[in-house]
Amino acid sequence: MIRSTLALTCLLGLWAGLSQAAPLGDPEAGKKVYNSCKGCHEVGEGARNGVGPHLNFVFGRKAAGLEGYRYSKSLERAGVAGLEWHADTLDAYIEDPRGFASGTRMSFRGLKDPQDRANVIAYLRLYSDNPANIPEADPTARMSEYTVDAALLAMDGDREYGQYLSGECKACHLSDGADGIPSIVYWPEDDFKVALYAYKSGQRLHPVMQMIASRLGDEEIAALAAYFENPD
């Protein structure tokens, strides 16, 4: 019992220290790498549980959280402790499954090449929500992971100017979040600012958003944030 508790404590510490910083993945390359996984894990239309659980919609899923599959006690305990599958936790698990969760039944030795892991994660994103957000795990990243000057967050934006500027944003970000691109309507002002500054500074990776954010000045970011928080 003591050893089990100690192992779980160490595992929780590992999760807390994980970072989203990872190489950009290529889903086409990931499909080829995934050939070494598909004997146990189905993915895509009609995927079912087999030797391992299917991996459709794995992002945001609690560990051992897929109904109808019998998991190892190790992953069940991890799920109860709060482990969820995101790009960072998947990366760590795929690198060394038994090192990550010692009691897992997964016999795969792991992928040691960071680029191979990034490619597989990008491939799996095609079968989860909002694939347009590759390589990020979720539709929006956790804002607490990025740092922005407090003065920029405090800057008041001109809402009408933001409405004028919003056309380019609305061309991709539809209000209903269609086409796999998240809606940014009613997004809290500070979160909106942090996201754009994270793209602008390179803390957050997405080639299109980095290009757009690089063209925006502080007043323009503040104005857009003010508008999208309350577009009505």
| pLDDT at residue 187, as a whole number | 80
Domains of the chain: 2-133 (1.10.760.10), 144-229 (1.10.760.10)
pLDDT in tens, 19-73: 444 456 888 999 999 999 988 899 998 898 888 899 998 988 899 999 989 898 8
Q: What is the pTM of this model?
A: 0.53
| pLDDT at residue 152, as a whole number | 92
Low-confidence residues in the chain, pLDDT < 50: 1-22, 134-143
| pLDDT at residue 131, as a whole number | 57
44, with CB counted inside 10 A (0-12, 13-18, 19+), is exposed
| pLDDT at residue 133, as a whole number | 53
